[in-house]
Amino acid sequence: MPNKLINETSPYLLQHANNPVDWHPWTEEALELSRSSNKPILLSIGYSACHWCHVMEKESFENVQIADLMNKHFVNIKVDREERPDLDSIYMEAVQMMTGSGGWPMTMFLTPDLKPFFAGTYFPPQSRHGMPGFDAVLVSVADAFHTKSEEISKVSEQVTEQLRNNMSLVTQDSILSEDILTTAVSTLSKNFDYQNGGFGSSPKFPQPMTLEFLLQYYQQYEDPNALELVTKTLDCMMYGGIYDQVGGGFHRYSTDAYWLVPHFEKMLYDNALLIPLYLHAYQVTNDSKYKRIVEQTIAYIQRDMLHPDGGVYSSQDADSEGIEGKYFVWDFKELGDILPSELFEQAREYYSITEVGNFEGHNIISVPNKKFDTQPDSNIDDHTLLEINELILSQRYQRIPPFKDDKIILSWNAMMLKALAESGSALGSNIYIDLAINNANFLLKNLISEEGFLLRIWRNGNSKIHGTLEDYSLFADALLTLYEATLEEKYLKTSIELSDKMILLFWDGNQKCFYDTSISDQVVLTRPRTVFDNAQPCGASVATRLLLKISKITGDPKYSVISEKSIRSVAPILLRAPSAAGTWLCTLDMYLNSGQEFVITGERSNPGVIEFLQVIHQHYLPNKIVIGEVNDLPSFPILEHKTRTEGSPTAYLCENYICNQPTTQVNELTKQILMSAPK
């Protein structure tokens, strides 16, 4: 008989709906059951692409004896961390405080008033390799809860107090200067792997926000070392196993220092962040290999991750048929059977395919011999390589695919929306712009409540869960990017409206900070506040950068006042971990260095206006704003005295509201852009 997860929409929760465990979703009913029965809560948090989450389900949650222990002693609550990042943030902080490490599945034991008193991640069903068995943990924790209540109360109070202190981090206003940026680059350089690219050793994550900062720093300050850190990492990743050479798109992270053996799940947010990073590298270097990665990764999204109505799915699992990576790796003989002999010989040489393989007797398709070259030499041409990859990909589609989490998450879709809008405008692709428009319209239709507030999750026609700070900030920012690509006024209007709601719901003027959850949401232990980037940009840093741009566009000082207070409050802690503060560092650069302000007059469908937009977006100008004529919005100060020249579309390039001569010529605007750039 199914448990109470059967009525949920999350694919991850539904995977557990037929466990013998009496699972509950996080609801007031479940919390009240814990209080009324005086049973502790066993809170298990994971997500559908999590390998060890699947392992623990098979080993423990489908084990009748273990399920009986869970049902007897606990109220069991299962949470999809992608639906409830607030709960995940609070309790993962507690896990790290209590154990010194974190990860998923998160296994947390709570008192009926939701305070943590024992924590862990993955537990095997029985003790092995020095790890306690889950069966023994359940018995010990249940016994301690009832026989050592004073000790449990003391521990839970201490952890909760520390959680509240961490989440309400008190910071002081700080002087904002270029020294913060320079010191951050120096620190990042010391931790850089100059042989293999990336930071640290293993496991190795792409860290796109950090690399975006380094690219932006190079553009502003002409530091060749900053550019080397970026290009070295991008080259090593794009030739390694972390990149799907055959089908496009990036896997989650590398288990080694060489980017060869990935954790094979593919997450929407990784790809949504890496697309613009490679695009910006192409704009800066004019190296077409980066453009190729952009195009291949978007092709993967179109082919495998797109809902028919325009939304983008969340993730693909690492496992298929119960084996991690099976969908993506190849036997030597398999490839020999798939490819004609001449193509097989070329593929074998280019991809270094061997009979022994490079992963448990199989081959992860990668380019190891070329990996550290910026311009790899090869006898294989692009057409032949495409033919090889298409033949392998066609055969791969005959396999049983990994599970796909098909829920639509607003913030993740917003990142992809921004990536598509930027790629379309920079590369002159109407296909990408249309994808962005369809995605935006899907989100606007399905993830805004009747009251005008954002919802976080959509699946199978059902929208739910209040939007978080990251949902508001990333979606408003993405709509602004789409506006700058199209000059479609409704996107600017909605971006400003969402920015105002974001301030109302998440900004605390007394603490001078943004919180992750709305002022109207239920507070669980404490109101979470994220300061650093994780796998995704910190919502507060995105919000702050967004308001800097909205301030320039509207001329309304309320936005600049909030953004300045926000960035001053975190400045002292940015240097503690610059690798986790990339978005804040980009925001600080925007605050310190005024970007270009483009005003384009003329109908947005006019070919002259379209040409102006194309030349603007071809260049890497990370701090720019672009605005056209407005009809439904009030005229902004930046638009004053900006008129068409003799009825023709006209471009104005300004900085700090000081403008060059207006021009009707694309070539002249190009010259002005080149003169305005830092380099």
Percentage with pLDDT > 70 across the chain: 97
Mean pLDDT value of segment 472-477 = 99
> Is 29 inside any structural domain?
yes
Last residue of one domain, picked from the residues 354, 378, 406: 406
CATH number at 153 reads 3.40.30.10
Q: Are residues 578 and 631 in the same domain?
A: no
**pLDDT per residue as tens digits for the range 139-167:** 999 999 999 999 999 999 999 999 998 87
Cα distance between residue 355 and residue 333, in whole Å: 8
Alpha helices in 604-665 (DSSP H): 607-618
**pLDDT per residue as tens digits for the range 636-674:** 999 999 999 999 999 999 998 899 999 999 999 999 999
> Is 87 inside any structural domain?
yes
Q: Are residues 413 and 457 in the same domain?
A: yes
Cα distance between residue 73 and residue 95, in whole Å: 21
Q: Output the average pLDDT for the chain.
A: 95
Altogether, the residues listed in the chain come to a count of 679
> Is 223 inside any structural domain?
yes
Q: Are residues 429 and 346 in the same domain?
A: no
The answer to whether the CB of 214 falls within 8 A of the CB of 230 is yes
Q: Where do we find the tokens 């993405």? A: 478
Q: Exposure string (b/e) for 143-180, b if CB count within 10 Å is 16 or more?
A: ebbeeeeeebeebbeebbeebeebbeeeeeeeeeeeeb
Q: Provide the pLDDT confidence category of residue 45 given band limits of 50, 70 and 90.
A: very high
Cα distance between residue 296 and residue 293, in whole Å: 5
pLDDT at 456 over 50: yes
Q: Are residues 104 and 83 in the same domain?
A: yes
> Is 183 inside any structural domain?
no
Per-residue tokens: 120: 């862990």
> Is 448 inside any structural domain?
yes
Cα distance between residue 72 and residue 37, in whole Å: 11
Q: Are residues 504 and 623 in the same domain?
A: no
Read off φ and ψ for residue 352, nearest 5 degrees. 50, 50
Q: Are residues 458 and 392 in the same domain?
A: no
Q: Exposure string (b/e) for 432-450, b if CB count within 10 Å is 16 or more?
A: bbebbbbbbebbeebbbee
Q: Are residues 443 and 401 in the same domain?
A: no
**pLDDT per residue as tens digits for the range 588-638:** 999 999 899 999 999 999 999 999 999 999 999 999 999 999 999 988 999
| Cis peptide upstream of residue 105 (ω within 30 degrees of 0) | yes
**pLDDT per residue as tens digits for the range 310-330:** 999 999 999 999 999 999 999
> Is 189 inside any structural domain?
no
> Is 416 inside any structural domain?
yes
Specify the number of domains making up the chain: 4
R_g over Cα of the chain: 26
**What confidence score (pLDDT) does residue 594 get?**
84
> Is 178 inside any structural domain?
no
Alpha helices in 351-461 (DSSP H): 382-396, 410-427, 430-446
**What confidence score (pLDDT) does residue 243 get?**
98
**Positions of E strands within 8-98:** 23-24, 41-46, 75-80
Cα distance between residue 150 and residue 155, in whole Å: 9
Q: How many CB atoms lie within 10 A of CB 381?
A: 10
Cα distance between residue 230 and residue 211, in whole Å: 6
Last residue of one domain, picked from the residues 126, 152, 167: 167
Q: Are residues 99 and 221 in the same domain?
A: no
- Structural domain that includes position 128: 4-167
**What confidence score (pLDDT) does residue 372 get?**
41
| Cis peptide upstream of residue 203 (ω within 30 degrees of 0) | yes
The answer to whether the CB of 618 falls within 8 A of the CB of 212 is no
CATH number at 630 reads 3.40.30
**CA max distance for the chain:** 86
CATH number at 558 reads 1.50.10.20
Start-to-end C-alpha separation, the chain: 67
**What confidence score (pLDDT) does residue 523 get?**
84
Q: Are residues 254 and 330 in the same domain?
A: yes
Cα dihedral 511/517/519/522 (nearest 10): -130
Cα distance between residue 461 and residue 446, in whole Å: 8
pLDDT at 374 over 80: no
Q: Are residues 331 and 241 in the same domain?
A: yes
Q: Are residues 516 and 617 in the same domain?
A: no
**pLDDT per residue as tens digits for the range 80-123:** 999 999 999 999 999 999 999 999 999 999 999 999 999 999 99
**pLDDT per residue as tens digits for the range 168-227:** 765 666 789 999 999 999 999 999 999 999 999 999 999 999 999 999 999 999 999 999
Q: How many CB atoms lie within 10 A of CB 512?
A: 18
pLDDT at 517 over 80: yes
Q: Are residues 419 and 501 in the same domain?
A: yes
Alpha helices in 240-357 (DSSP H): 268-285, 288-304, 332-338, 341-350
**What confidence score (pLDDT) does residue 129 get?**
85
Q: Provide the pLDDT confidence category of residue 371 given band limits of 50, 70 and 90.
A: very low
pLDDT at 387 over 70: yes
The answer to whether the CB of 215 falls within 8 A of the CB of 232 is no
Mean pLDDT value of segment 19-23 = 98
Cα distance between residue 232 and residue 50, in whole Å: 29
Q: How many CB atoms lie within 10 A of CB 372?
A: 15
Burial class (CB in 10 A: 0-12, 13-18, 19+), 550: buried
